[in-house]
């Protein structure tokens, strides 16, 4: 999905569908921060959809593991800073008022990877700065599910139909005793010439209890709490303390 299929990602989740979520992220940032809120670093910024809304309020730096996703993000955020990097190891040598790890934190599948991503967030925050981490599920809220969606290209008519994508998403947990679950996508893409290709994309994603999340955030040095967002998802709000962290 984030490699060969990256150019299709905006047909899977069109940027226009992200308007409410960024507004809620901004509210959580404003409530959680100590001091000014002007700059934000996003880890795993993907297609730049959330960023394309947040950019009117904040100065953004976007980072992702996938050069193809960064290239896609540049198509809708041409003037924003884009940097290639892994959220577990990235070190830019500067700090921001806020860090966002949205629907990319789910790719951390072990305690140590999750803690490494939290440490990256911590190291890029000024004292008083705040990080928002938004997993799709915590262990307590996980439910197997199916979903579907997709869209046609807004770039005008193709031959004989516009370029388009449709998907079926199947969320399951083959082993409830480990820290992962599985998301399988069946993806149909209709090319410019009308030819349809089918892809199976399997994602292994991390699943941790609320208490594990909060313990790891505390171990990294954050003052952290969780809250439930408008979509009933558990979100973690983590502030870097003003003094030296009590690790």
Ligand X SMILES: C[S@@+](CC[C@H](N)C(=O)[O-])C[C@H]1O[C@@H](n2cnc3c(N)ncnc32)[C@H](O)[C@@H]1O
Task: CB nearer to ligand X: give 68 or 128.
Answer: 68
Catalogue the E-assigned strands of 95-195.
96-101, 125-133, 145-152, 164-172, 180-190
11 near ligand X (CB under 6 A): no
Site for ligand X in 91-150 (CB under 6 A): 102-104, 107
# residues near ligand X by CB under 6 A: 20
Which pair of structure tokens corresponds to residue 151? 């869209």
Which pair of structure tokens corresponds to residue 15? 């940027």
Q: Which span sits near ligand X by CB under 6 A: 61-69, 178-186, 190-198, 203-211?
A: 61-69
66 near ligand X (CB under 6 A): yes
Alpha-helical regions (H) of the chain: 9-12, 20-32, 49-54, 67-76, 111-123, 210-220
Question: Residue with the closest Cβ to ligand X?
Answer: 46
Site for ligand X in 200-219 (CB under 6 A): none
Minimum gap (Å) between residue 159 Cβ and ligand X: 29
Residue found by looking up tokens 């996703």 in the block: 69
Q: Provide the CA 11 distance to its chain's centre, in angstroms.
A: 17
Residue found by looking up tokens 């820290």 in the block: 179
Rounded distance between C-alpha atoms, residue 103 and residue 170, angstroms? 17
Q: Which of 8, 60, 77, 88 binds ligand X (CB under 6 A)?
A: 88
185 near ligand X (CB under 6 A): no
Minimum gap (Å) between residue 183 Cβ and ligand X: 11
Backbone φ, ψ for residue 8 (5° rounding): -95, -5
Contact letters (x/-) for ligand X, 16-55, by CB under 6 A? ---------------------------xxxxxxxx-----
Residue found by looking up tokens 């938004």 in the block: 134
Query: Which residues bind to ligand X, rule: CB under 6 A?
Result: 2, 43-50, 64-66, 69, 86-88, 102-104, 107
């Amino acid at each position: 999905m984030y490699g060969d299929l990256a150019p299709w990602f905006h047909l899977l989740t069109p940027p226009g569908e992200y308007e409410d979520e960024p507004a809620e992220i901004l509210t959580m940032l404003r409530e959680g921060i100590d001091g000014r809120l002007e700059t934000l670093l996003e880890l795993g910024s993907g297609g730049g959809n959330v960023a394309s809304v947040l950019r009117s309020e904040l100065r953004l730096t976007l980072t992702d593991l996938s050069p193809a996703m960064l290239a896609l993000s540049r198509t809708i955020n041409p003037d924003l800073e884009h940097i290639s990097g892994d959220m577990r190891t990235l070190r830019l040598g500067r700090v921001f008022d806020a860090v966002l790890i949205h629907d990319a934190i789910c790719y951390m599948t072990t305690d140590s990877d999750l803690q490494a991503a939290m440490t990256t967030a911590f190291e890029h925050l000024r004292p008083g700065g705040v990080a928002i981490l938004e997993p799709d599920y915590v262990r307590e809220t996980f439910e197997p599910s199916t979903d579907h969606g997709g869209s046609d290209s807004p770039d005008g008519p193709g031959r004989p139909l516009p370029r388009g994508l449709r998907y079926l998403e199947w969320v399951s947990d083959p082993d409830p005793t480990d820290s992962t679950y599985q998301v399988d996508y069946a993806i149909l893409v209709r090319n410019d010439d009308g030819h349809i290709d089918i892809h199976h994309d399997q994602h292994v994603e991390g699943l941790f209890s609320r208490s594990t999340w909060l313990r790891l955030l505390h171990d990294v040095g954050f003052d952290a709490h969780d809250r439930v967002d408008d979509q009933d998802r558990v979100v973690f709000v983590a502030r870097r303390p003003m003094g030296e962290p009590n690790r």
